[in-house]
């Protein structure tokens, strides 16, 4: 019987474009869903059954109700009972739920609060990229990023991909995905000293809060400093592929991504 998995993304383009291409490459049926509107009375995940495949597992990708973690938390704290009930309902309909978000300017305390709420793949697991999903394009980065707004770094990566490869940053990441993500998996395994990649989201959160300096203001006017670069995007892929059933699973996960390289 086919299973359904939900991936809630921060953005409307970059993350969905990358995830859709990768999961389609791995033979999943991928559905682009309209953005989640938790305040609506109707269930926004009443999918047309014609979209769901019975022959292969389904990946449903939808933008979250807010595109910043702080705004997401403000919504949660304002409508806590409604949000909790919403995610309980989701839990009944999906075999795994993941929230793919950038660190951006998010305060340390907000990251910790978000992870405390969403730390389990069966009811919502937060997967972070520091500073943003575009870090996938340069896994060897060590120079710090100090900027008043992360858009300057994203612009830099777009221009880099266009100048060097005549591609969008999304297409560059998609075409080199396995090579890029393998470097992050191996780095995170070595630094965390854990061969269970399901431990990585918690470890990465602590590393981000240890090394990065961020001050949130509504207009992002104050500079932030990023010194720790990584992503845990691979966790949702490994879990959905059924590669995380054993505690020591990193070798199997690495072997899988190696097998998918061009």
Q: Provide DSSP, 163-193.
A: HHHSS-HHHHHHHTHHHHHHHHHHHHHHHHT
Q: Could you report the per-residue pLDDT of 142-181, keeping only the tens digit for each? A: 999 988 888 899 999 999 999 999 999 999 999 999 999 9
Instruction: Return the DSSP state at 80.
Output: H
φ, ψ dihedrals at 59, nearest 5°: -110, 120
Q: What is the mean pLDDT of residues 67-91?
A: 86
Q: Could you report the per-residue pLDDT of 25-42, keeping only the tens digit for each? A: 999 999 998 888 876 556
Rounded to two decimals, the pTM is 0.93
What mean pLDDT, rounded, does the chain reach?
91
Alpha helices (H) in the chain, listed in sequence order = 14-25, 69-78, 80-93, 108-117, 151-165, 169-175, 177-192, 200-211, 234-240, 250-259
If you compute the radius of gyration of the chain from its CA atoms, what whole number of angstroms results?
18
């Amino acid at each position: 019987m086919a299973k359904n998995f939900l991936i809630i993304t921060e953005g409307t383009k970059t993350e969905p474009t990358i995830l859709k291409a990768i999961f389609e490459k791995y033979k999943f049926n991928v559905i682009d869903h309209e953005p989640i509107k938790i305040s609506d009375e109707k269930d926004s995940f009443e999918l047309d059954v014609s979209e769901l495949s019975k022959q292969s597992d389904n990946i449903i990708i939808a933008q979250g109700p807010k595109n910043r973690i702080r705004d997401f938390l403000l919504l949660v704290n304002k409508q806590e009972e409604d949000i909790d009930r919403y995610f309980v309902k989701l839990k009944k309909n999906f075999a795994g739920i993941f929230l793919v978000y950038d660190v951006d300017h998010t305060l340390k305390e907000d990251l910790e609060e978000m992870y405390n709420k969403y730390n389990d793949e069966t009811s919502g697991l937060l997967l972070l990229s520091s500073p943003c999903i575009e870090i996938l394009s340069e896994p060897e980065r060590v120079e710090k990023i100090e900027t008043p707004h992360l858009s300057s770094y994203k612009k830099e990566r777009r221009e880099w991909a266009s100048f060097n490869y005549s591609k969008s940053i999304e297409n560059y990441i998609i075409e080199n995905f396995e090579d890029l993500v393998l470097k992050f998996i191996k780095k995170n395994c070595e630094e965390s000293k854990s061969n269970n990649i399901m431990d990585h989201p918690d470890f990465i959160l602590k590393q981000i809060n240890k090394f990065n300096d961020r001050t949130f203001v509504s207009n992002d006017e104050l500079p932030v400093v990023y010194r720790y670069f990584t992503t845990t995007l691979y966790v949702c892929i490994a879990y959905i592929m059924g590669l995380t059933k054993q505690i020591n699973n990193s070798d199997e996960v690495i072997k899988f991504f190696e097998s998918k390289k061009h």
